[in-house]
């Protein structure tokens, strides 16, 4: 038998429209209404300001450990512009801009980071899942949702997000394999921010790109400039249209960068250089998009000041609403089941006795053992 090269009938493309240096590619530039462009910018700026405020809130103990999104706003927001409310959105935990676009109130996102389960309830009118921290586990949920959409033949598409570190988890690969085999309408967006906590991208895979992993599963792949919101919109629109018309899943690698720390429990200076961060700063999606809007006469200093004042007002309102919620340390026991089990009652009683330093009405008679 002769030795031949196997031809793989799949394509991997790279895409950039709004470069941080050079000229706009007008042939690829999407036709987006002016009002939508302004709204996209306001959402990106809202996400950035929310991010900055959350860092302050965490430092003064008002919320728990927080994962910043600075520098990754375009990677999550662009795909949201390409889907409707009937489509599904499955986030990881750096998709604040996407959540704001989908109608999540800032106060509800704050509640999630503050440990209140009310923050995990999506707003009415959209098919969204809450923030998911266990790495890559959301990939399985998204695959199941996409398969369900196909079985119901409702025309809906599922867009899910995962980080580059998540591509080393089995959940990611199982989800893509299943979605490809059953041609489920899934668009998997990998936010390749170059670092999985302290592990660099080159330690995650020997592949030249993450996008090329799509070939192994028999689907198309895109490597997109994830800091270019126009490119993210165009790539996702194409993938969504293909999925909606029965063409199966697509893998999108959004090339972006985590300008901040992994979380507020992390010190990135221990494992990456300041020179590397400085190299990526000019690629920041927010000033790139601002420059684009100014070139189209859709943004000036006066308009930007009005937008910033509106966002600042929304932030203050969100924090005030967050502060009004009762901080119930026992909610973690009450929210597990419709009716608390005896074991949970014992644990809650033990915590109450520890916190309040007195006898608890929940404490059972006699001695009890610690139930973990």
Identify which of 367, 285, 356 has the alpha carbon closest to the alpha carbon of residue 72. 285
- Three-state secondary-structure class, residue 196: strand
Q: Which of 59, 203, 271, 368 is catalytic?
A: 271
Q: Which of 53, 102, 262, 352 is catalytic?
A: 262
Scanning the structure block, which residue is given the tokens 């662009």? 78
Rounded Cα gap, residues 176 and 214, in angstroms: 8
Cβ within 8 Å of residue 47, ≥6 positions away? 69, 73, 77, 96, 97, 100
Q: Which of 258, 283, 346, 352 is catalytic?
A: 258
Identify which of 211, 209, 231, 208 has the alpha carbon closest to the alpha carbon of residue 220. 211
Task: Write out the two tokens for 70.
Answer: 């600075």
Residue 258 designated active-site: yes
CA distances from 244 to 128, 159, 247, 248, 271 (A): 18, 12, 7, 8, 42
Rounded Cα gap, residues 338 and 62, in angstroms: 29
What is the rounded end-to-end Cα distance, in angstroms, of the chain? 62
Q: Pinpoint the alpha helices (H) of 249-337.
A: 274-280, 285-295, 301-324, 331-334
Strand partners, 224: 15, 254
Task: Write out the two tokens for 328.
Answer: 């119930």
CA dihedral 119, 259, 20, 164 (to 10 degrees): -70
90-109: b or e for each residue (b if 16 or more CB lie within 10 Å)? Answer: bbbbbbbbbbbbbebbbbbb
Q: How far is residue 210 CA from its own chain's centroid?
A: 18
Residue 271 designated active-site: yes
Residue 173 designated active-site: no
Rounded Cα gap, residues 108 and 122, in angstroms: 9
Catalytic residues: 258, 262, 271
């Amino acid at each position: 038998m002769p030795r031949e090269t196997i031809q793989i009938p799949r394509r991997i493309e790279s895409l950039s429209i709004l470069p941080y240096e050079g000229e706009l590619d007008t042939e690829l530039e999407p036709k987006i209404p002016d009002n939508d462009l302004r709204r996209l910018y306001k959402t990106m700026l809202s996400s950035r300001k929310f991010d900055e405020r959350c860092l302050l809130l965490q430092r003064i103990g008002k919320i728990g450990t927080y994962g910043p999104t600075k520098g990754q706003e375009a990677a999550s927001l662009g795909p949201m512009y390409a889907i409707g409310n009937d489509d599904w959105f499955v986030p990881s935990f750096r998709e604040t801009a996407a959540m704001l676009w989908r109608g999540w109130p800032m106060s509800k996102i704050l509640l999630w980071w503050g440990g209140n389960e009310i923050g995990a309830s999506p707003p009415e009118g959209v098919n969204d899942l809450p923030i998911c921290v266990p790495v890559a586990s959301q990939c399985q949920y998204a695959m199941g949702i996409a398969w369900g959409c196909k079985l119901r033949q409702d025309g809906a598409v599922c867009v899910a997000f995962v980080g580059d570190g998540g591509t080393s988890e089995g959940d990611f690969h199982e989800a893509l394999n299943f979605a490809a085999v059953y041609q489920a309408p899934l668009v998997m967006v990998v936010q390749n921010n170059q670092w999985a906590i302290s592990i660099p991208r080159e330690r995650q895979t020997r592949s030249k790109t993450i996008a090329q992993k799509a070939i192994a599963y028999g689907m198309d792949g895109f490597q997109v400039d994830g800091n270019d919101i126009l490119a993210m919109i165009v790539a996702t629109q194409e993938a969504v249209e293909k999925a909606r018309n029965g063409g199966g899943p697509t893998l999108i690698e959004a090339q972006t960068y985590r300008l901040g720390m992994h979380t507020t429990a992390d010190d990135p200076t221990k494992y990456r250089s300041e020179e590397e961060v400085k190299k990526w700063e000019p690629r920041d999606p927010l000033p790139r998009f601002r420059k684009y809007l100014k070139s189209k006469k859709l943004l000036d200093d006066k308009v930007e000041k009005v937008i910033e004042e509106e966002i600042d007002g929304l932030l203050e309102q969100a924090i005030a609403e967050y502060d009004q919620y009762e901080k119930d340390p026992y909610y973690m026991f009450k929210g597990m089941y419709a009716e608390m089990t005896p074991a949970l009652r014992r644990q809650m009683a033990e915590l109450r006795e520890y916190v309040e330093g007195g006898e608890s009405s929940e404490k059972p008679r006699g001695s009890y053992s610690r139930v973990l």
